[in-house]
Amino acid sequence: MVSDPDIDNAVAILRRGGLVAFPTETVYGLGADARNPEALGRLYAAKGRPAGHPVIVHLADVSQLAQWARELPPAAVRLAARFWPGPLTLILPRAPAVSDAVTGGQDTVGLRIPSHPVAHALLTKFGSGVAAPSANRFGRVSATTAQHVKQEFGDAIDLVLEGGPSEIGIESTIVAVTGERPVLLRPGHIPAREIEQAAGVPLGAPDTGSPRAPGTLAAHYAPQTPLIVMEGDLLLELAASLTRQGKRVAVLAHGTLQPLFSGLTWIVAPPDAPVYAHDLYANLRALDAAECDAILVEKLPQQPEWDAVNDRLGRAAAGSSPTST
């Protein structure tokens, strides 16, 4: 996988303001020195991300927290103790030295301590915060392998650290702990009820004005091919009608749905929510690569364990629709 010299090389690149993609247990991140505004500028440019959107700062361990957050509310301490290192991002009141390029000019900062051994080795050796959005072009499907990162960015970044396929496959659960109650900003692998239990207080409702989060924009995580989510029987009807019109159709099926006629690009996704999530972005990339006219995704159960996947599919559908911006 990755050797000590690879980590040393990655650290040297970060120190001179370069961009290093690295594996985490959720998805691959595209990293830059979070204290270096020029490196952050390069990061935004490579992603094609509009300015003013905040990025998550990744840390090696909790001893670094005070440099980034000016306050650790009790609920944040409990959540950190329970879920770090791991797939949780906490939005906390920012420390004075944190740059606007990281926070998008907000009074908060997003922090995460990932558990992937390569990420941990990189962050430990670097010794400071690494700003890292998901390693995909803005609005597009996140990357869960080093190969996907290379397909996204080619030579536009300095190094990709290999860490195998991401264990979880979708982005971290984001919880803002800035007011009386923690607020779930982005569902993820850690279910809302576990966040609530660990925090020891009920979750509050999101404030519609702020904080801003592109991962919570209606359109995001989208393949290039238009994507539609629908019930299995309707999906087959639509697939048949499109095929009759000479269109090429890709399907992400789930459960027992069968391709009743030939000519469809057909992937059967795993039945359990965590495994479905694990494969989701690789499946979307594979269906996108088939260059069909539409990707039809079989609708999933509307139950809490499917929240994170339903959230991503809903935004992928909005992001690929011809009417979205």
Binding mask 118-137 for ligand TXA (x = CB under 6 A): --------------xxx---
Q: What are phi and psi of 154, to 5 degrees?
A: 50, -125
HSE-CB at 156 with a 13 A cutoff on CA atoms is 18
The residues, ordered by sequence, that sit 6+ positions from 139 with a Cβ below 8 Å of its Cβ are 214, 217, 219, 220, 221, 222, 319
Interface size with ligand TXA, residues (CB under 6 A): 28
- The reply on whether position 214 binds ligand TXA by CB under 6 A is yes
- Torsion on CA atoms 279, 281, 287, 291, rounded to nearest 10: -160
- Alpha carbons within 13 angstroms on the beta-carbon side of residue 236 total 11
Q: Which one of ligand TXA, Mg ion, none interacts with residue 35, CB within 5 to 8 A by kind?
A: none
Q: Which position among 36, 172, 283, 310 is part of the footprint of ligand TXA (CB under 6 A)?
A: 172
For residue 56, give the 3-state DSSP assignment.
strand
Q: Does 166 bind ligand TXA (CB under 6 A)?
A: no
Q: Residue 159: CA atoms inside 13 Å, Cβ hemisphere, count?
A: 23
* Interaction of residue 134 with Mg ion, rule CB under 5 A: yes
Binding partner of residue 91 among Mg ion, ligand TXA, none, CB cut-off 5 to 8 Å per kind? ligand TXA
**What is the C-alpha radius of gyration for the chain, rounded to an integer number of angstroms?**
20
- Supply the minimum distance, in Å, between the C-beta of residue 292 and ligand TXA: 26
Based on CB atoms, which residue is closest to ligand TXA, 21 or 227?
21
By CB under 6 A, residue 29 contacts ligand TXA: yes
The answer to the question of residue 294 lying near ligand TXA (CB under 6 A) is no
Q: Which is nearer to ligand TXA, 56 or 267 (CB)?
A: 56
Confirm or reject binding of residue 109 to ligand TXA (CB under 6 A): yes
Please count the other Cβ atoms lying within 10 Å of the Cβ belonging to residue 325: 7
Nearer to ligand TXA, 21 or 264 (CB): 21
Q: What is the DSSP string of 96-107?
A: TTS-HHHHTT-S
Checking DSSP bridges between strand 20-22 and strand 159-160, what pairing results, if any? parallel
Contact with ligand TXA (CB under 6 A): which of 103, 144, 283, 310?
Answer: 103
The helix, strand and coil proportions of the chain, stated in percent and rounded to the nearest 5, come to 40, 20, 45
Beta carbon nearer to Mg ion, 170 or 253: 170
Amino acid at 27: V
CB of 135 to ligand TXA, least distance (A): 7
106 binds ligand TXA (CB under 6 A): yes
Q: Is the Cβ of residue 47 or residue 254 nearer to ligand TXA in the bound state? A: 47
Positions touching Mg ion (CB under 5 A) are: 134
Positions touching ligand TXA (CB under 6 A) are: 24, 26-27, 29, 53-56, 89, 91, 103, 106, 108-110, 112, 132-134, 171-172, 174, 211-216
